[in-house]
Amino acid sequence: MEQDVLQKENEKKVEYRYYEMPVNSYVLPLLGERWITNYGKDSLHFHNYLEIGYCYYGKGRIVTEDQVFEYENDTFTIIPKNLIHRTWSNPERV
């Protein structure tokens, strides 16, 4: 099943997401209710900065080009810049 998911995702378009870092800052926090999302509807993507995520509650998966990683509440995730990935949240647990 995991391999089927990866194959289907690799057949889709990959989106580049550019984030502009504020002047004199090393961090671009994406905080608040606006960023609580049921991920999985977005395409595979990559971005120009390292991504550090924290799961407050629920569980899900991060799918990269060739691997699937599970996460759950109280889990940190780190995704290097330019790594193609997609984050899926389990809709029953978010």
pLDDT digits (tens, 9 = 90+) for 23-36: 998 888 887 766 66
* Mean per-residue pLDDT, 1-14: 61
| Residue 25 in domain | no
Phi, psi of 38 (to 5 degrees): -85, 85
Position 37 in a domain: no
Residue 47 is assigned to a structural domain of this protein: yes
Give the Cα separation of 93 and 74 in Å (integer).
13
Q: What is the pTM of this model?
A: 0.72
**94, pLDDT greater than 80:** no
The answer to whether position 30 is within a domain reads no
Residue 6 lies in a domain: yes
Q: Is residue 77, in this structure, part of any structural domain at all?
A: yes
Number of domains present in the structure of the chain? 1
User: Given a cut of 90, is residue 57 above it in pLDDT?
Assistant: no
Amino acid letter, residue 37? T
In a domain, 82, yes or no: yes
Q: What is the domain extent for residue 77?
A: 2-19+42-89
Q: Is 33 part of any domain?
A: no
